Structure 1
Amino acid sequence: MEVPNNKNAIESNRQAWNDSARHHQDSPDWQALLNEVTQADFSCLDDTLRGLLEQVGIDGKDVVQLGCNNGRESLSLFSLGARTVVGVDQSTGFLEQARELNNRSPHNAEFIETDIHHLPASLQNRFDVALITIGVLNWMPDIGEFFRHVASTLKPGGRLVIYETHPFLEMFDPEAKDPYRLDSSYFRETPFVQEEPIVYVGKVEQQAAKSYWFVHTLGAIFNGAIEAGLNIAHFKEYPHSNREELYDQYLNQSAQLPMCFTLVATKI
């Protein structure tokens, strides 16, 4: 398989996410979200992430979410007392949804269209907390470079909070005949490639821009953060899933996989 260079992979992923946005907007979840976000205490954060953010403390803080998708999590940060919130994403389509939600919210976040590799100077050394949630790390072809850009947004002493899928799950194919058989190497170096629209439930049988999903080991994630000048202060693995429903079949097993993790790191 021919793997594109990093720049082309990032651009193809941007196109794929823009195409995906309309499919997400067709869902009943979107209609419900339009109503829910009007509440001052709106939050879509699960107990794990909410508890961690309360522990880190974002009350009165300036927070950036990198890879904010449609902004629902960014807007949820106000329920924890965030002073200002900025959401960053490279998808025009999803940021249009974020701004629609923002217009309905009693709070006011700022949404910026850019990819992580071209952050505007206005975001440098600005934030107390940077947030990354499910489905961000694996779109990044170079995890070390990614963390250098993330670190650049934080003030000295600022904290990075990550709540992500566990890389062990990339070894399994939940749609395989035997979904418990190891299907891919933990140390896989080539990305998974998808040519259908990116949706969270089921599949849409249409042609779309290719999307490239890069596998990063925990070691690569840890080293990328450390080399970017981030001190790891917290790391925890969990037996629950924060991925698509397809992965729920791996829950509650006698030989349980780690399914997601949280990590907190402080900028030196």
Structure 2
Amino acid sequence: MPSAKSVIASNRDAWNASAEHHRSSRTWKRLVESVGTSDFSCLDATLTEQLRDIGLAGKDVIQLGCNNGRESLSLFALGARSVVGVDQAAAFLDQALELTARSPYTPTFVEADVHELPANLCEAFDVALITIGVLNWMPDIKAFFAHAAKTLRPGGTMVIYETHPFLEMLDPESTDPWRVASSYFQTGPVVEDKVIVYEGQAETNGVSSYWHPHGLGEIITGAIRAGLRISHFSEYPYSNREELYDIYEQGYWDVPMCYILTAIKAMG
């Protein structure tokens, strides 16, 4: 197994290699057409409600793993004073700048590995946002939280809106998608050499990516050890990831498909 540092670098290369595919998608075209309005938001109702409950008005917000900046730009419609988006994939930050050029808002985008953040991002934010997929690209979840928590001022809030780990046990493309396909307690990563896609078919490109399933216990413990106090946790029976997972909204029983976790950084 490669070192954590080389895994993170390989994931960066895999995302950069997939950027052009995302830029040619229907989603990108819709973003370009809609991002220019002052009320633009691509955030769904669940995350929007949670962020309104926290209150972003007049606050400084950082998004860790901002991809093409669409969610970072959406935070201004909720009243954020300033927004910084961090991602290690330069090709997606180029897309973020392209969207920003069409927007009335001016977030700042920083190219960096979360484990090696610039010093000026330390204790500079009231809210840190982490959305779908970010945690699973991290080989060491405890190390990730330790670095992510450093961005918050004392009393600041971390908001995580993620796919539920339960879904990692299922394969929506299987002939029997309801059959358990892997262990909840899987410890090794899923290694792929395909283009990372949200739409269409993933083609082999020879660039390895490493997807790390993390159970809820591991995630919650990682946050607590980073000096964060869990203030809210909710699970939901609907998907916040690719459309092919919508099949699990059509079963006899509801299953956990996504969750929101908020945590407060200790004062002093």
Query: Structure 2: how far apart are the matches of 1:150 and 1:32?
Result: 31
Residue 199 (structure 1) aligns with: 197
1:19–1:208: 8 Å Cα contact kept in structure 2? no
2:86–2:109: 8 Å Cα contact kept in structure 1? yes
Structure 1, 66-75 or 33-42: larger mean CA deviation:
33-42
Structure 1, 29-38 or 224-233: larger mean CA deviation:
29-38
The alignment yields a C-alpha RMSD, in angstroms, of 0.8
Q: CA deviation at 1:214?
A: 0.2
Q: CA deviation at 1:257?
A: 1.2
Structure 1, 26-35 or 53-62: larger mean CA deviation:
26-35
1:167–1:217: 8 Å Cα contact kept in structure 2? yes
2:190–2:212: 8 Å Cα contact kept in structure 1? yes
Q: CA deviation at 1:216?
A: 0.5
Residue 102 (structure 1) aligns with: 100
Q: Secondary structure at the match of 2:207?
A: coil
Matches for 1:221-232 after TM superposition, within 5 Å: 221-232=219-230
Structure 1, 113-122 or 22-31: larger mean CA deviation:
22-31
Query: Structure 2: how far apart are the matches of 1:152 and 1:231?
Result: 14
Q: Pick from 35, 39, 46: which aligns with 2:37?
A: 39
**Residues matched between the structures, number:** 266
Q: Which amino acid aligns with 1:48?
A: T
Q: Pick from 213, 216, 224: which aligns with 2:214?
A: 216
Q: Pick from 43, 47, 50: which aligns with 1:49?
A: 47
Residue 253 (structure 2) aligns with: 255
Query: Structure 2: how far apart are the matches of 1:100 and 1:60?
Result: 25
Structure 1, 164-173 or 206-215: larger mean CA deviation:
206-215
Structure 1, 247-256 or 216-225: larger mean CA deviation:
247-256
Q: Secondary structure at the match of 2:204?
A: coil
Structure 1, 187-196 or 200-209: larger mean CA deviation:
200-209
Q: CA deviation at 1:60?
A: 0.5
1:174–1:246: 8 Å Cα contact kept in structure 2? yes
Q: Once the two structures are superposed, what CA deviation does each residue of 1:96-115 show, in whole Å capped at 9, x if it has no partner? A: 00011111110100000001
Residue 130 (structure 2) aligns with: 132
Q: Which amino acid aligns with 1:135?
A: G
Q: Once the two structures are superposed, what CA deviation does each residue of 1:31-63 show, in whole Å capped at 9, x if it has no partner? A: 221121110110001000000000011111000
Q: CA deviation at 1:206?
A: 3.4
Gaps of 5+ in 1: none
Q: Which amino acid aligns with 1:183?
A: A
1:130–1:161: 8 Å Cα contact kept in structure 2? yes
Residue 120 (structure 2) aligns with: 122
Query: Structure 2: how far apart are the matches of 1:50 and 1:161?
Result: 11
Q: Which amino acid aligns with 1:58?
A: L
Q: CA deviation at 1:201?
A: 1.8
Query: Structure 2: how far apart are the matches of 1:136 and 1:29?
Result: 19
Could you tell me the TM-score, scaled by structure 1's length?
A: 0.98
Residue 143 (structure 1) aligns with: 141
Q: Which amino acid aligns with 1:205?
A: E
Which stretches of structure 1, 4 residues or more, deviate above 3 A after TM superposition? none
Q: Secondary structure at the match of 2:10?
A: helix
Q: CA deviation at 1:5?
A: 1.3
Q: Which amino acid aligns with 1:263?
A: L
Query: Structure 1: how far apart are the matches of 2:147 and 2:55?
Result: 23
2:25–2:199: 8 Å Cα contact kept in structure 1? no
Query: Structure 1: how far apart are the matches of 2:174 and 2:26?
Result: 28
Gaps of 5+ in 2: none
Q: How high is the sequence identity, in percent, across the aligned residues?
A: 60
Residue 170 (structure 2) aligns with: 172
